[in-house]
Structure 1
Amino acid sequence: MKTIVIDAGHGGSDPGATYQGSQEKTFNLSIALNVQRILSQNYEVEIIMTRTSDVTLSLGARTQLANQRNADFFLSIHNNAAGGSGFESYIYNGPLVPTTQAYQNTIHDRIINTVGPKYNVSNRGKKEANFHVLRESDMSALLLEILFVDNPGDLALLKNSSFINDVSRSIAEGVADALNLPGKTQPQPAPGDLYRVIAGSFRNRENAENRIEFLANQGIASFVVQTTISGTVYYRVQAGAYEQEKNAKDQVARLKSIGITGAFIVRETGTTPPTPAPEPPQEEGYSILGDQYLNACQLDDFVKTVNPDAPDLGRFYMKYGNAYGIRGDIAYAQAIHETDYFRFTGLVDADQNNYAGIGATGPGNPGATFSSPEEGVHAQIQHLYAYASTEAIPTGYAKVDPRFDLVSRGSGKTWIQLNGKWAVPGTTYGQSILSIYERNIDHAIEEMDQQKQVLQDVLEEL
């Protein structure tokens, strides 16, 4: 089994490149941990991380670790600065281990061929340099400069979870190809009844991969199972297989608690697979209509982790979300995405009370203005309702969205289906919203765990 050292550049007291409050070290670690997880889940390989948290680590300590463990490959993940845009990779500009250049070619090409066309990332080329981690590593070593932290366009991609997932997977698959890593095979169940838990079923494999990334961030392992029903290919995300039906139901309940309302169980009897049932009407992403899982306080508390001066709007998203049957907690994530955590760094100003960019099409046309924060939230929820439903506006509520009648009713029932509709071209618009929502869920869970610990401490003192 081959051994790979993954090095998340900088860390601790060394932030790396910084720009407008963003620090390179954070992006490096996020990508490195994703690469570690993807490789460990899918390939027969030993992964050693130079760091898995925000700690200070010298360059010498990083290469010494790799040399002591007699690693087969050293991969250092960084992001660039000081002007420019795009992706580049580096090997040592001196004597090389023979496989080094071949590894660079394979990994570099896989990355740029994945993120280049999809995200318009420019290819800055395969380069050489006298970097410590390249020079002092006894094995083949490669340093990646993913994007430029101080370029606003590149920085927006680094804050986009879909880009992070795609670039991480392309790195992992490039490494696997370069080093010819054997893939892991899924264990086969013993004969008997088996209850498979499906955490999503998609016609688009990329959406299934995004679901796997989300589950992994929640500590739930899953993988794609392809199935064909009535001539249509579906990509199911399997998140467990159990001999006891109760255990499968417990897993479904867990999935629903983190927002995956469409989870279901497939039962197999003996060694004969069941006759496949029609797939549920699922989900290119979460549906816009549906239940809310976070409360107003959890929404407002989350946004203040980034912008302490953000207005308290959570109660309005709960109110109008309930009235229209819209997932107001995800609509709140949409507002965060549109307003940059209510800092209004784009076209719309704070005094417009326009939290979703309704009518904003470019410089000189900043969109609609609403009379109050509550009306602005109401208009956003109503605009979402126009996309997600063909029903009339609920009784007792006036039309406040000036573009309500311009929407093709029912044309966007999920958040990802808003791509190219709400935001043009917006190919990752819905995914960006869901990424923020998932981080809000993580923050809420962390707060609840802290509150639980405080209560336990109080009980112990009684």
Structure 2
Amino acid sequence: MGRIFISAAHGGLENGSTDPGTVAGGTTEAREMILTRDLIATELRSRNFEVLTVPDNLSATETIAWINARGRRDDVALEIGMDGSPNPSLRGASAYHIANNDQRKAHAELLLLALLRRVPQLPSRGARPDTATGLGNLPFCRQLVPPSLLLEVGFLTNPDDRLLLQNRRRDFAIGIADGLAAWSRAVAGTSPSPSPSPTYTSTDININGGIYDEQGVIVSGNAYIPIDLVDRLNIDLSNSPGINRISYRNVVYIKAIDLREFNISVSWDSASRTVILRSSASVCPGLVDRIMGRGSTSEVQLMMFLKTNNENALTQFPDLPKLYREEASIEGVNYDVAFSQMCIETGFLQFGGALKPSQNNFGGLGSAIVEEETASFPSARIGVRAHIQHLKAYASTEPLVQELVDPRFRFVRRGIAPLVNQLSGRWSADAQYGEKIVSIVRRLYESAGLL
């Protein structure tokens, strides 16, 4: 039987200071997860499992390195955390797995089911691919050598979830231990016998509709592709230290899913055991992160993407996709980028926090009045127009086409941020704000079949 690694999210040193994670209700995510992790470890050890708990003072990067230095093929690794949202009504548990790995998805469902059996009052948000997260990937799910999952046991910002964990922490721990025990047995049962020369199953590679001459391999349920194909796609990995390489029979491979960060669509056909790669000519990879330009999606595709992420999104604002296409096109702004930013700022129109639907403020624009935290607009169209104008202020020195409605347009140094990533630290204090917008753009294009 393999060993079980457990990490409590946050609590370590990040940029020289202790990272508490989400803070709400007089407590922190780090504190709640350390207490829960310790109970899980005690429960598993009572069942004769070998458990390794990650030291609490390690950063996220150091946590991955610590596990990889010790991990073996039949081990499993779990990180537990709690979600946070400006909308305090959001609640429920989620289990995140590396995208396009059916085996890991089944493990995530197994773990989540075990928790919910012990705590049925906890809503389930399901087993979810890491591409559905803010940055479009989770290093804990992507970069570990052993099979790994990240379990969000609820929302710390939701009073019901928070009190449920604090009052029934042992039930949470037993449920998670049940899931980890079942997952560990499943991995041990499918792992090949240890040998100096492991043998991996091969897989075909379909790229843009044709079968590539060389095959990939399957490692721990993940499709790996040869590095030569990466070079043929003109992808430079020199600035991507988080991408792991393996050597098998004198050929270097990387995980296929890692190509997604380079605007390559990656999917998996279980029936033919083929990894499918697609680089689209309709979306220029170099323009995905440019604010000025033309969008690539249709109004219907924007509507479907919004409804997929919030089924009630269009109830109050049914014309919003149309408004973004029209208003952005007039000013020469990429409406796909603007629409994706709106999804982040409003939580796919679920709002919460400082923003209210009645404000028609879809870009999280601040007010020019000191006493007001955020701006308000008389209609959805004017709110969208203000958002577009503020983006144009950052990305271009060209004059506005329409009458000025953005209350803070005059405060922006024109043209200072033509790229989405340059909005980080400007539009939002979040250092990863631009990356999160680009991640939403990728998800939008994948849902529309453009990537």
* 2:232 aligned counterpart, secondary structure: strand
Determine if the alignment matches structure 1 residue 146 to structure 2 residue 182: no
Determine if the alignment matches structure 1 residue 85 to structure 2 residue 29: yes
Structure 2 distance, partners of 1:362, 1:155, is: 34
Counterpart contact for 1:353–1:369, Cα < 8 Å = yes
Residue 232 (structure 2) aligns with: 196
Shift of 1:347: 0.8
Residue 169 (structure 1) aligns with: 142
Which structure 2 residues correspond to residues 16-415 of structure 1 after superposition, within 5 A?
A: 72=2, 85-86=29-30, 87-88=33-34, 89=37, 90-91=40-41, 92-94=44-46, 100=50, 104=52, 108=54, 112-114=58-60, 144-149=78-83, 160-162=133-135, 164-172=137-145, 196-199=232-235, 212-214=259-261, 218-219=265-266, 254-257=279-282, 259-262=283-286, 286-305=289-308, 306-308=310-312, 309-311=315-317, 312-359=319-366, 365-394=372-401, 397-415=402-420
* 1:147 aligned counterpart, secondary structure: strand
TM-score (norm: length of structure 1): 0.50
Structure 2 distance, partners of 1:182, 1:427, is: 43
Q: CA RMSD in A?
A: 5.2
Counterpart contact for 1:296–1:318, Cα < 8 Å = yes
Structure 2 distance, partners of 1:380, 1:388, is: 13
Structure 2 unaligned spans of 5+: 10-24, 68-72, 97-131, 149-193, 199-218, 245-254, 269-274
* 1:219 aligned counterpart, secondary structure: strand
Counterpart contact for 2:303–2:321, Cα < 8 Å = yes
Shift of 1:345: 1.0
* 1:445 aligned counterpart, secondary structure: coil
Counterpart contact for 2:331–2:392, Cα < 8 Å = yes
Aligned pair count reads 291
Q: Which has the higher contact order (CA 8 A, sep 6+)?
A: 2
Shift of 1:435: 2.5
Structure 2 distance, partners of 1:368, 1:352, is: 7
* 2:29 aligned counterpart, secondary structure: coil
Residue 445 (structure 1) aligns with: 449
Structure 2 distance, partners of 1:204, 1:362, is: 43
Structure 2 distance, partners of 1:344, 1:288, is: 24
* 2:389 aligned counterpart, secondary structure: helix
Shift of 1:386: 0.8
Sort the Cα spacing of 1:377 and 1:202 in 2 relative to 1 into closer, same or farther, 3 A.
farther
Counterpart contact for 2:75–2:147, Cα < 8 Å = no
Structure 2 distance, partners of 1:383, 1:182, is: 58
Structure 2 distance, partners of 1:404, 1:181, is: 63
Post-superposition CA distance 1:25-65 (Å, at most 9, x none) = xxxxxxxxxxxxxxxxxxxxxxxxxxxxxxxxxxxxxxxxx
Shift of 1:151: 8.0
Q: What letter matches 1:403 in structure 2?
A: R
Post-superposition CA distance 1:315-339 (Å, at most 9, x none) = 1111122222211022111111111
* 1:161 aligned counterpart, secondary structure: coil
Residue 427 (structure 2) aligns with: 422
Shift of 1:180: 13
* 2:138 aligned counterpart, secondary structure: helix
Residue 185 (structure 2) aligns with: none
Q: What letter matches 1:417 in structure 2?
A: Q
Residue 114 (structure 2) aligns with: none
TM-score (norm: length of structure 2): 0.51
Q: What letter matches 2:280 in structure 1?
A: L
Structure 2 distance, partners of 1:346, 1:360, is: 16
Structure 1 distance, partners of 2:406, 2:243, is: 30
Shift of 1:162: 2.4
